[in-house]
Structure 1
Amino acid sequence: MQTRRTFAAGLASAACAAPFITAAVAQSATTIRVSTAAPPSDFLNRALERMKADLEAANVGIQFSVHPASTLFRQGTEVPALQRGNLEMCSMTTFEVAQQIPELGYFNRGYLFNDHAHLRRAFDGPIGEDYRKAVSSRMGIEILATHYLGTRQVSLRQKRNVKGPADLAGTKLRMPAGPEWLLLGRTLGVAPIPLGMPEVYLALKTGTIDGQENPLSIFSAAKLFEVSEQVVLTSHVVQPVFLAMAKPVWDKLNPDQKKAVETAAKAAATWGDTARLDDEKTIVETIKGRGLTVETPDLKLFREAADRAYTGADATKAWDLQGLKRVQSA
């Protein structure tokens, strides 16, 4: 009888202790939060959600959460948040890197990459390895994977005949903040208006801006077709975005965690690239089906305007021109 009572008491004690053991395990897990401006339905956010699922399945002691549409940190503040220890991960752009490493600003040049394959050749080879090393050593940020954000196109809230940059003169076009974004706006012939992505829909609806530029998959995911009449296929930037982690966070991960995070990030980026490329095959027809006009301008005129805008511009004086030629010939 005494043995039974002792056994029952042991079970009760274990049952009481179980919640505390679970809580202790949860508290010891490494927290990784990802901030991105991507809309919830965009492929970038969905890729990050796949990364979350893969890390949960790996069961390596990481609590991973994804925060889309700038709900955790405002667009443009994520990189400083990483560097101050206030955030673990974000979807960083080449424009944000160039703000701290100006000689790499040529990665922001309009009409730099010809297509997705050109982008991948650059970032998946020695060029990309050098880029990642520079970002790690000089910014304290680890690039885990490069994701194809898409090819940026112009959309307008009211239709107009656009054959070249001159036809966009005076257009108030939303662009992210930063000197190289504004310089990019000059190549398009527009009057660039800095504005956060979450504010774009209302600004188009009210006429605060005349248009915006984004990859068409993001244009669709953000439902900007509801407040636009026309898309102009300028194809001015074939854009990468980086799944990036604060280096102190990366350095604290154990080997199993590092392997799981890197594997999940690369798998997420590969899935995102494939899904976005597949979407790009049909999205123009989808946009036309929504009643929008799709204009195909003379890209030669835009490329010539880009050459003029970048020649001698203050923002380009720090660029590594040998690096630029290396990318162009990749």
Structure 2
Amino acid sequence: MQMFRTVARCLAGPAIAALVGIGAANAADVTIRFSTAGPPADFLAKSMETFKAEVEKANAGVKVETYPGSKLFRQGTEVPAIQRGNLEMSTMTTFEVSQQVPSFGFLNRAYLFRDYDHMIKSMAGPVGKAVHDAVAKDMGIEILSVAYLGTRQLNLRKARAVKGPDDLKGVKLRMPATPEWLLLGRTLNVEPTPMAMPEVYVALQTGAIDGQENPLTIMYAAKFNEVTEQVVLTSHLVQPVFYAISKPFWDKLTAAQKKVVKDAAVKAADENNKGRHGNEQQVAELLKSKGLKVDAVDLALFRANADKVYASSDLAKKWDAKLMAEAMKP
């Protein structure tokens, strides 16, 4: 009998240890809920699926749930949700950064970046580092990678002759309800109309608004071409967007988990960037083939109006002029 008890204890030890090990592994598993306002068909939403696949195939104890099209949180509420601990990750915009760190409002300035290459170069240098450090310190959010949201263009429900900002006076243009978006609207000389992204299609369809502005790839993914007649190539904002994660959540990950998550974010952003940038010109031609007017304009008129608006803005006086000059360098 004594021998039986001894053997049982010997066998039970490894079994219990194995069970404890399994329990510890399960306890270490974490889930990243990743939210974006981008529609499911857009490159940004598709890249989230790449992020999920890359993270989960590494088998590092991290799971990912993706929520495109504002399915989990309304557009504009993701960052506060991250800061409250109710969400782990989002595609954070520069407008959301400047709401809490006003000195970076210059990132939302019309005609800050000339094109995609200029934006990528700037965000990979001192400007990008300054944003990363300030967001981590002042917002409690870690920026994992920078993605290209696109070059924003004007999209009108009813076609009109547009040569410069004077021709857009009175146009009710959908924009998010933040001071810098409204200021950006003034550079286009439109009447900014606050509205969440999921409401825009019906608002265009019914005439509640006269137009919207977005990168062409997002415009096409959201099917706004079905309820509009014209695209005006104002190219007013070459827009970066950040794969951003809660810093307290990030800090609790192991070194191995951080590497997996960071590498996946970089790969996903790169996939988004190549896909979107390569597709923008094709989309312009596609929209023409579907009967939309796609009109180029004299950007000098819009740039001049932007310079005038920002020069007289109290909001712009809060911006970091030195970093803005760095961002605008060739």
Q: TM-score, normalised by structure 2?
A: 0.92
User: Any idea what the Cα deviations from partners look like across 1:225-281, whole Å, max 9, x if unmatched?
Assistant: 000000000000000000000100100000110000000000111111000011013
1:278 aligns with 2:282: no
- Which position in structure 1 is the counterpart of 2:49? 49
Structure 1: which amino acid aligns with 2:321? L
User: Any idea what the Cα deviations from partners look like across 1:57-89, whole Å, max 9, x if unmatched?
Assistant: 111001101101101000000111111111000
- Tell me the secondary structure at the aligned position of residue 56 of structure 1: helix
In 1, Cα distance between equivalents of 2:263 and 2:99: 29
- Which position in structure 2 is the counterpart of 1:174? 174
How far the C-alpha of 1:24 sits from its partner, in A, is 7.7
- Which position in structure 1 is the counterpart of 2:299? 299
How far the C-alpha of 1:126 sits from its partner, in A, is 2.1
In 1, Cα distance between equivalents of 2:185 and 2:26: 47
Which 4+ residue blocks in structure 1 deviate beyond 3 angstroms? 20-28
In 2, Cα distance between equivalents of 1:72 and 1:116: 30
Structure 1: which amino acid aligns with 2:209? I
After TM superposition, the structure 1 = structure 2 runs for residues 51-90 of structure 1, keeping only pairs within 5 Å, are: 51-90=51-90
Contiguous gaps of at least 5 residues in structure 2: 1-10
How far the C-alpha of 1:326 sits from its partner, in A, is 1.0
Contiguous gaps of at least 5 residues in structure 1: 1-9
In 2, Cα distance between equivalents of 1:23 and 1:286: 54
- Which position in structure 1 is the counterpart of 2:5? none
How far the C-alpha of 1:25 sits from its partner, in A, is 5.1
Structure 1: which amino acid aligns with 2:243? L
Structure 2: which amino acid aligns with 1:209? I
- Tell me the secondary structure at the aligned position of residue 86 of structure 1: coil
- Which position in structure 2 is the counterpart of 1:325? 325
Name the count of aligned residue pairs. Answer: 316
In 1, Cα distance between equivalents of 2:67 and 2:55: 16
After TM superposition, the structure 1 = structure 2 runs for residues 239-318 of structure 1, keeping only pairs within 5 Å, are: 239-318=239-318
In 2, Cα distance between equivalents of 1:322 and 1:178: 24
Structure 2: which amino acid aligns with 1:35? S
In 2, Cα distance between equivalents of 1:234 and 1:136: 33
Name the CA shift for 1:159/1:244 in 2 (closer, same or farther; >3 Å).
same
Identity of aligned residues (%): 55
Structure 2: which amino acid aligns with 1:257? Q
- Which position in structure 2 is the counterpart of 1:6? none
- Which position in structure 2 is the counterpart of 1:114? 114
- Which position in structure 2 is the counterpart of 1:40? 40
In 2, Cα distance between equivalents of 1:26 and 1:300: 59
After TM superposition, the structure 1 = structure 2 runs for residues 222-237 of structure 1, keeping only pairs within 5 Å, are: 222-237=222-237
- Which position in structure 2 is the counterpart of 1:161? 161
In 1, Cα distance between equivalents of 2:226 and 2:104: 37
Q: TM-score, normalised by structure 1?
A: 0.92
- Which position in structure 1 is the counterpart of 2:7? none
In 2, Cα distance between equivalents of 1:243 and 1:23: 31
